[in-house]
Amino acid sequence: MIRIENLQKSYGAARAVDGVDLTVNRGELFAFLGPNGAGKTTTIRILTGLTKIGSGRVTIGGCDIAQNPRAAKRQCGLVAQHINLDSELSVRENLDIHGRLFAMPAQERRRRIDELLEYVEMTNRADHLVKQLSGGLKRRLMIARALMHQPRIIFLDEPTVGLDPAIRRRIWALIKRVRQDDATIFLTTHYIEEAEFLADRVAFLDQGKIVALDQPQNLMAKLGLWAIDQISGENMETHYFQSRDEAAQFSAGHDSAFTLRRVNLEDAFLSLTGKKVS
């Protein structure tokens, strides 16, 4: 559904995206992770037609975004990082305007709005002004809006940023439901557990380049199953083990303070780049 070939983008002397090659399959939930400045936002802006390609080729659902941007955009829904709803309009009006922008007939718009409001559990909020909604409800509305014209590909750019853990997990459940409807989802997030929980595959981006690409469990398994964070003064060193017994034997031979835990996806990223996902 998404094919990227040798994508490059520079701003002056700074190379934001540096030769990215990537294929995202139909029905896949794909996570694109990296630290601030890695090139995530530039890449997703190119994929959604908000930024022009420097060089390379990108196709969305078989449509070249440089040669046929309108056809490519019609196949996509976008949940932006920042809330960009019209706060002075109602929930229903925000969805209706989106349908009009995609030339949906009135009867189809009404049917689709009712369907989506039920889907995101906001039927009782249909006539509420957006400015009256909580952050979590606004995020759910943004997902509903992205689905309004029944796109084949959904781009989620930091979809749960700023939400508390309980609301974040409700959004995760909603994203899982969207995935079950055969949509292809391209996710960027700085919540590492979000990608670990949701994604079929993950790409790590660093300094504009993909440094790893695999299923989350495979990336973590390369390190081990268990981790010990060894604390000595102001320093902390992490050690990885295939079994809990191995970890216990290691800790028994040292006097430092330890924390035993399961290996996570951020460990895999740190081992490759020395940086935290952000």
Q: How far is CA 175 from the centre of its chain?
A: 10
Using CB atoms within 10 A of its CB, is residue 38 exposed (0-12), middle (13-18) or buried (19+)? buried
pLDDT of 248 reads 86
Alpha carbon separation from 124 to 5, 34, 120 (Å, rounded): 45, 38, 11
Return the number of other C-beta atoms located less than 10 Å from residue 191's C-beta: 20
pLDDT of 93 reads 98
Ramachandran angles phi, psi of 97, nearest 5° = -60, -40
CA–CA gap between residue 251 and residue 98 (Å, rounded): 57
CATH number of 2-75+151-215: 3.40.50.300
Alpha carbon separation from 200 to 116, 117, 169, 258 (Å, rounded): 25, 27, 18, 32
Residue 278 confidence (pLDDT) above 80: no
Conformation bin of residue 224: beta by default, left when phi > 0, alpha when psi is -120 to 50: left
Residue 274 confidence (pLDDT) above 80: no
Residue ranges per structural domain of the chain: 2-75+151-215, 87-146, 224-262
Whether 212 contacts 268, CB under 8 Å: yes
What pLDDT, in 10s, does the model give residues 85-102?
999 999 999 999 999 999
Bigger pLDDT: 162 vs 28: 28
pLDDT of 20 reads 96
Structure tokens at 180: 């079950």
Percent of the chain with pLDDT over 70: 99
Q: What is the pTM of this model?
A: 0.91
Give exposure, 93-109, as e/b (b: 16+ Cβ within 10 Å): bbbbebbeeeebeeeeb
Q: Which of 218, 212, 168 has the alpha carbon at shortest distance from 189?
A: 168
Give exposure, 152-169, as e/b (b: 16+ Cβ within 10 Å): bbbbbbbbbeebeeebbe
Percent of the chain with pLDDT over 90: 78
CA–CA gap between residue 34 and residue 276 (Å, rounded): 8
Q: How far is CA 205 from the centre of its chain?
A: 13
Whether 44 contacts 188, CB under 8 Å: yes
